[in-house]
Structure 1
Amino acid sequence: MAEFRLHWQVTNLALTRANTEIVGLVSGLNSVRLQDLVITVNEAVTNALEHGAGPAMVTLTADEVGVAVEVTDSGNSLEEHHLQLEPGQRPSRGMGLWIIRQLADQIKVDRPPGQSRLRFRVNRVAPAGVVLGSPSRWYSKPMEHPPEEPTTSL
Structure 2
Amino acid sequence: MADSPAPEQPSASPLLDRDFDTGTLVTLRREVERCAQSNGLADLDLYRFVVAVNEITTNAVRHGGGRGRLELWLSTDRLHCRITDEGAGIPAEYHRPRRPEIHAVGGRGLWLARNGIPAFAIETGASGTEITLSSAATAG
TM over 0.5: yes
Shorter-normalised TM-score: what interval? 0.7 to 0.9
Alignment of 1:1-154 (within 5 A): 4-11=14-21, 12-78=24-90, 82-86=94-98, 87-91=100-104, 93-111=106-124, 114-124=127-137
- Provide Cα deviations, 1:82-137, integer angstroms capped at 9, x if missing partner: 34253113446430011011111111111488221111212238xxxxxxxxxxxx
Judge conservation of contact 1:52–1:73 (CA < 8 Å) in 2: yes
Structure 2, unmatched stretches of 5+, are 1-10
Scaled by the length of structure 1, the TM-score of the pair is: 0.69
Q: Secondary structure at the match of 2:135?
A: strand
Root-mean-square deviation (CA, aligned residues, Å) is 2.6
If asked which structure has higher relative contact order (CA below 8 Å, sep 6+), I would say: 2
Q: Larger Cα Rg: Structure 1 or Structure 2?
A: 1
| Structure whose residues are more often strand by fraction | 2
User: For residue 56 of structure 1, what is the amino acid of its counterpart?
Assistant: G
Percent identity, aligned pairs only, is 22
Structure 1, unmatched stretches of 5+, are 126-154
Distance 1:81 1:92, change over 3 A: closer
CA distance in 2, matches of 1:10, 1:58: 7
